[in-house]
Chains A and B, each alone.
Chain A
Amino acid sequence: MISRGQRLTIWSLVWLSIITLSLPTVVVLGASFTAGNMIAFPPEGLSLRWYEKIALARDLRQAFFRSLIVAGVCTLVSIPVGTLAGLALSRFRLRFAGVIQVYLLLPFTIPLIGSGIGLMLVFGQWGVLGSLWPVGVACAVINLPFIVWSVSSSAVLLDPDLELAAQNCGAGRVQTFLYVTLPAVMPGVITGSLLMFILAMNEFLVSLLLTDARIVTLPVQIYNSIRSIITPDLAAVSVVFIVIALAAIWLLDRLVGLEIFLKSK
């Protein structure tokens, strides 16, 4: 049993964390509903006028759709690559396991600006800068370790006998993969791909380096506006980002919670 004192300490810590973590969100949320012309907390009056404004702003809307495209491309690229890499990493004793481990740590060691410039040079060389898909591919390259991890953590839980059992039942390699291996790692694939989507949606530095004025993505667009003037519409945009992230988490919970149904058949 925990004593009263311990319980008090634990709950104080919990609430402290909740408040510090959610404070910025609450402030932004509040500020976005202001009726005034300045970002302020608490807001002056309540209105949806800034939401109306961002909904009507063509440049913001276009930037938003571009970000969706980038996130979509990134997710589409990373699902097959990340799934196969994650499976390979956990199932086989790879020869270059050490090298791969280092690669998986890259997002935490190499500053994004470094990899961003590298990719800018490569894509510049290939002459593909100026279109959207390279931004998506770049996001996939940079964030790939996240989906690889997610998949391989599902894969290590997979009983290797399951694949042997499938073969014994008459399933060839492809069928074994489709009917047994893939469904078993599906939770990892779903988690990883939603993560990739969110990360690409929010990716700022790489987008900044790889886009030009005609194809700015939402985070870059916001950054550009901040440089001129800070108005409550930015708070409204931030709320949109938060809503997307929440939607992804909700989706994740539904999908992975219901993965058994997804995997049946």
Chain B
Amino acid sequence: MAAVRSEQPAVVVQGVDMDFGTGAMAVKGASFALEPGRFLTILGPSGSGKTTLLRMIAGFQAPTRGEILIGGRPADAVAPHRRSIGMVFQKLALFPHMTVNANVAFPLKMRRHDPRTIPARVARYLDLVRLGGYGNRRIHELSGGQQQRVAIARALVFEPDLLLLDEPLAALDRKLREEMQLEFRRIQKELGVTTINVTHDQREALVVSDEIIVMDHGEIQQHTSPVDMYRSPANPFVASFIGVSSFLEGLSSPRGLMVNGVDCAGVAAGAILPGMPARGAIRAEQTRIGAAAEACDTVLEGRITDTIFEGERLMYFVDLPALGTGVRIYHHDPAEHAPFEKGATVSTGWNARDLLIFPAKDR
């Protein structure tokens, strides 16, 4: 049951720069707004400025330039301990001298909850993160993943207005991580708490979020819904970061992209004029192989150079002599387990709408 909230965005970030004076800026010109109750994931490679942006939103660091508003008020207008922000730190920052119970009870004690209600509430949140019965352990007596879940319980237990998560699931095994992702989504919907999650796991971003921001080198590359992020990446960087894409270099043509004298079918993504140097991106799962390729808009002859078995699917590395380059192809064949042999010559193809063509100057 979501609380009644004001109309203004929960978080506004306006032209924020962060310069530590150690070379390149950690965050450059970041701007976005987040409506109350939404789940935003900031996705980006290591060192792209995710933690820095999150810490500025938490009010731990003042931006070099720009402004951050939380619930319509400047982030630094309220003393840090009076903000209703739950945070899971990248390095967890659990209190080492306290038990699990004491860690989770700490925010309630500091916020002067009725002492009689605290134990029940602590137990409820420990159950939620599947740590029921671990309350009397000390922090150093827990595994990394268990510690991470204590940090999550500590951030959630006082039901904050804003939840900031810095890679909270990084230390969990895949099964638990996927369970916790769904759990997060459920809790977040149930409490209606505005959430900003940081990760470099693109799958997690797609699964849990209402919206995603992709960052690189301190700059926001794209801010949109998971489906849009996947379907219409704003530039080759986003295309390469979400999913697996292959890239083709060439000149833009009326049909799509001219690569090595071959006119490939594709669609322009963004402002692009014919004859301009351009870079095409095609997803591994949208590239067809064998019989499935025959009906595609572009069909080329390829030679399989390598095969990787990934369980539910295979990845083929296919060399395309006509283009002078290769592509990666995901192949899922539920009917028969008859993979193509390494060195085999196969038809390779894609449809025009799946080859996205960007101006080459973009990263």
Contacts and interface: CB of A to CB of B under 8 A. Distances in A.
Given A171-B81, A172-B81, A164 B110 contact: no
B107 A167 contact: no
Given A171-B110, A260-B138, A180 B81 contact: no
Given A171-B110, A175-B110, A260-B138, A164 B93 contact: yes
Interface of B: 58, 60, 79-83, 85-87, 89, 91, 93-99, 102, 106-107, 110-111, 138, 154-155, 158
B55 to A, nearest CB: 8
B78 to A, nearest CB: 11
Contacts of B106: 166, 169, 171, 179
Interface string A175-200: 11001100110100000000000000
Nearest to A160: B93
Interface of A: 159, 161-162, 164-172, 175-176, 179-180, 183-184, 186, 259-260, 263-265
B93 A162 contact: yes
A169 B107 contact: yes
A169 B89 CA distance: 12
A170 B97 CA distance: 18
A180 B95 contact: yes
Contacts of A180: 95
A170 B110 contact: yes
A132 to B, nearest CB: 36
Contacts of B96: 184
A170 B89 contact: no
Contact of B91 (A161, A172, A265): A161
A260 B139 CA distance: 11
Given A179-B106, A260-B138, A264-B102, A169 B154 contact: yes
Given A164-B93, A169-B107, A171-B81, 15 more contacts: A159-B91, A162-B95, A164-B89, A165-B94, A168-B58, A168-B80, A168-B83, A168-B155, A170-B111, A170-B158, A175-B81, A176-B81, A260-B97, A264-B98, A264-B99
Contact of B89 (A165, A175, A179, A264): A165
A264 to B, nearest CB: 6
B93 A167 contact: no
A3 B83 CA distance: 63
Contacts of B80: 164, 167-168
B246 to A, nearest CB: 40
A50 B155 CA distance: 65
